Each structure stands twice: as C-alpha cells, then as structure tokens.
Structure 1
Amino acid sequence: MTPIMSKTEAAGLVDAARIRGGHTWAELATAIDAPLVWATAALLGRHPLTAEQAATLCALLELDDTVAEALRQQPARIADPAIMTDPTVYRFVEAVNVYGPALKALIHEEFGDGIMSAINFTVDISRRPDPDGDRVVVTFDGKFLDYRW
C-alpha cells in the first residue's frame, strides 16, 4: 500500500500547478467556494479541504487523486521555525511582540477576562491606497471567549 502524500508535498504541487496554470489564489478560493485567506492557508497545508473542494481544485489544476487525498487530511498546525524567519512572516511576529501586551490589555478592558479565539476566527487582507505607498490591511476577527471558573 502506498502512503498518503504529505500535506507539504501536496501544497508544493498545488502551488506549482497554480503558477504554471496562471491562476491566482483568489481564483482558487472562488473555485472551492471558500474565503481567500482560509483557502490559501488550506492549499498551503494548514486546513483540510472537503472531498468536493479537493476534487474541484484538482480538476481545475489537473492534479491527480493522490493530491486530493492529501488535501483532505487533517493538518498538523505547528510553528515551523524556518517559516518564522521569512521577512514577511517575521513582521507579524514582530508586530505581536510589540503590540501583543497592549492588545491583551485592551481586550481585557473592553471584554473582561478572556481571549480572542483563533478557532472561531476569520482573517482578511486588503490593499488601501495611500500617497506614501499602499497599505496592507489585515483584519483578525475572533470570537471572544471568557474564562469561566
């Protein structure tokens, strides 16, 4: 029996087919009827696709059933130290290091003792024109979960 392809290998094949086929992440998200950031994360191996989504994507990108099978698997959602050193990813780490304590204090002041869920959560990215250079707008939208004793 052949082992199931890793999500990392499947993600590499999806990205190669996306680039070679001239597709954007937005086109793929639309094809699988999923939000852009979630779909991109899923196609990079961080979320499982449904059987229907995987079949649709693989048909569009001309990938075989072994890729679809891998895309349906549950991921390991762990921090990869190599990814954390990427300059774009590191800017998010840097922002949380600088503003995390302030955000925590403001969440507690506004909502009480609790946290923002990263499970019941959406994230979006957009561009905002600015005379000094376009701005990247990232919106985290998580449910407040209070600590219950």
Structure 2
Amino acid sequence: MSVEIPEITKKLLAAKQAKGISFADLEKAVGRDEVWIATVIYRQASASEDEASKILHALNLSQDLVPELTACPAKGLGPVVPTDPLIYRFYEIMQVYGMPIKEVIHEKFGDGIMSAIDFTLEVEKEEDPKGDRVKVIMNGKFLPYKKW
C-alpha cells in the first residue's frame, strides 16, 4: 500500500517543478523554514492566509487555493509501514535506535516525551570526501508526564 498524495500537493509540486525553484527558494519567499513549507505542501501542516498566499504567489498559482492550505490537515502516513526507501530508513532508525534514544532522553530529562508540536526539523547537507552526509536535526520541547 502506498501513501496517497493529495491533489493539491500534486498541483503545488508540479508548479514548483515548472518554475524550477527549490524549497530553499520558497523559504526566502515565504519567510519560513523550507522543511515547514514542504510540510504545508504535503498537507501535514496548515499555513496562515498570508503564508498560503506567499506560497501560491511564488508558484504562480491561483489564490483560490488559500483555503486548502489554511485548512487543518489529517496528519500522518497512515497505519502501514512506509515502503519508500528513504522514508523507510527513518522507520528503520526508530526500530533500531528508538529504545536507546528513549532511555537517553529519560536519563537526561526524566519521564516524558519530546513534543512533535513545539518542534523544528532541519535538513542539512554535510560535504564529506567519502560521500556527502545527510544531517537531520530534530529539536522538540521536552514535556514531562504530569503527576496528579
């Protein structure tokens, strides 16, 4: 089973490709991080009217699409294990390193979780003579479990 790509996402990505612009270019036009903009385009986050307008303007698309980009989306990939190789590797990383990461976080912070709401994510390219590296930086607020 594959992930269903929303029609608006297909339209936005086609416009992005036709204009030959990157998510980094959209970051400059919108004033938001490139990963966040990609999240809006993939309908995993909602934009303000101003942000949606800037995205659509940068892509030469109709402002009639603003309501679709400002609507609260249904989030997540669904209940299946992802099959896309790059996305699956993140799933695999959590299978292998999830419990160790959890233990280290608990050791440093106590019993709680890392927020995926008060959260940022950056993707950087790190040049290396043995092969370029992908650097993913996740930064989430620690939320301790409440006692009552």
TM-score > 0.5, shorter chain as reference: yes
- What is the alpha-carbon distance in structure 1 between the residues aligned to residue 58 and residue 89 of structure 2? 33
The match for 1:123 is: 121
Unaligned stretches of 5+ residues in structure 2: none
Unaligned stretches of 5+ residues in structure 1: 1-6
Which residue identity does 1:43 align to in structure 2?
A: I
Cα deviation, 1:86-131, whole Å, max 9, x if unaligned, reads 0000000000110000000000111111111111101101011112
The match for 1:76 is: 74
2:41 paired with 1:43 = yes
**CA 1:68–1:83 in structure 2 vs 1: closer, same or farther (change >3 Å)?**
farther
- What is the alpha-carbon distance in structure 1 between the residues aligned to residue 130 and residue 140 of structure 2? 30
For the residue of structure 2 that corresponds to 1:26, the secondary structure is helix
The two structures, once aligned, show a CA RMSD in angstroms of 1.6
TM-score by length of 1: 0.89
The match for 1:135 is: 133
**Matches of residues 14-33 of structure 1 in structure 2 within 5 Å?**
14-33=12-31
Of residues 94-103 and 20-29 in structure 1, the stretch that sits farther from structure 2 once superposed is: 20-29
For the residue of structure 1 that corresponds to 2:139, the secondary structure is strand
- What is the alpha-carbon distance in structure 2 between the residues aligned to residue 87 and residue 116 of structure 1? 25
- What is the alpha-carbon distance in structure 2 between the residues aligned to residue 62 and residue 130 of structure 1? 37
C-alpha contact (below 8 Å) 1:83/1:89 kept by paired residues: no
2:35 paired with 1:59 = no
The match for 1:11 is: 9
- What is the alpha-carbon distance in structure 1 between the residues aligned to residue 28 and residue 82 of structure 2? 28
The match for 2:96 is: 98
Task: Report sequence identity in percent.
Answer: 37
For the residue of structure 2 that corresponds to 1:124, the secondary structure is strand
TM-score by length of 2: 0.90
CA deviation after TM superposition for structure 1 residue 66, in Å: 3.1
**CA 1:113–1:82 in structure 2 vs 1: closer, same or farther (change >3 Å)?**
closer
**CA 1:83–1:61 in structure 2 vs 1: closer, same or farther (change >3 Å)?**
farther
C-alpha contact (below 8 Å) 2:46/2:73 kept by paired residues: yes
- What is the alpha-carbon distance in structure 2 between the residues aligned to residue 83 and residue 40 of structure 1? 21
**CA 1:82–1:15 in structure 2 vs 1: closer, same or farther (change >3 Å)?**
farther
- What is the alpha-carbon distance in structure 2 between the residues aligned to residue 13 and residue 64 of structure 1? 11
CA deviation after TM superposition for structure 1 residue 31, in Å: 1.1
